[in-house]
Amino acid sequence: MPETLKMRAMRIALFCLLSSALLAAPTPATAPDVPVVAITHHESKIRFFVKASVALEGKFDRWNSTLTFTSPDVTSGVLDIKIQADSVDTGSDMKNGKLKSEKFFDVKNNPEIIFHSTKIVQTSPTTFEIDGDFTIRGVSNPEKLTLTLPASGKGLDHIEGKMVFDRKDYGMNSGIPFIKIADHVEVTIALTAKQVSGPPLVFKH
């Protein structure tokens, strides 16, 4: 059936309307050019130490971490660390089993130990204080992590960090048979990181 003038006019009007809408639609904003940093996990370590009547220290074998930035300002970074609690290794099966139990890490119900930074403050050319939320056995509290960068000023190549927390703040009130344990736990991290793209990070000197 031949197209009538009225139908043709309506089709042209509809085409013009759709074209105008598409042209008027805002284009999506491009992502800002920010530093991208990768952490080399096989060259990094997370360890812990507790003062006790018998040596109580160890490491975690399985964990992941990211360091992301929203601008070149180094204090815009966000550090996330997620540890698989059942990967604890003290070198003793007895100690490992006790730490994995419900009275300590409670790995069955809370498989991850998490640190998520909320604020980074540069306190010197090579030191930082990082406030964050620390979660262990399902309990979260604010904690402070101190970081130190290489004195050589080569950026993030080797990051050393330390955090001390009170285990009783997280419901870990028990002890280990025949071992007297202090309340404070010292966690140390050694991260090997490298900037892989984006503008250089800006540090305060």
pLDDT at 2: 53
pLDDT at 153: 58
Q: What would the two tokens of residue 176 be?
A: 């280990």
Q: Using CA atoms, how far apart are residues 136 and 107, in angstroms rounded to an integer?
A: 10
pLDDT at 149 over 60: yes
Lowest mean pLDDT among 20-24, 154-158, 170-174, 196-200: 20-24
At residue 204 the predicted structure's pLDDT band, cuts being 50, 70 and 90, is confident
* Domains of the chain from N-terminus onward: 33-197 (2.40.128.110)
At 42-56, the pLDDT tens digits run: 889 999 999 988 878
pLDDT at 155 over 60: yes
pLDDT at 18 over 60: no
Q: Using CA atoms, how far apart are residues 199 and 149, in angstroms rounded to an integer?
A: 19
pLDDT at 8: 58
Backbone CA torsion sign across 171, 175, 180, 181:
negative
Mean pLDDT value across residues 172-195? 89
pLDDT at 19 over 80: no
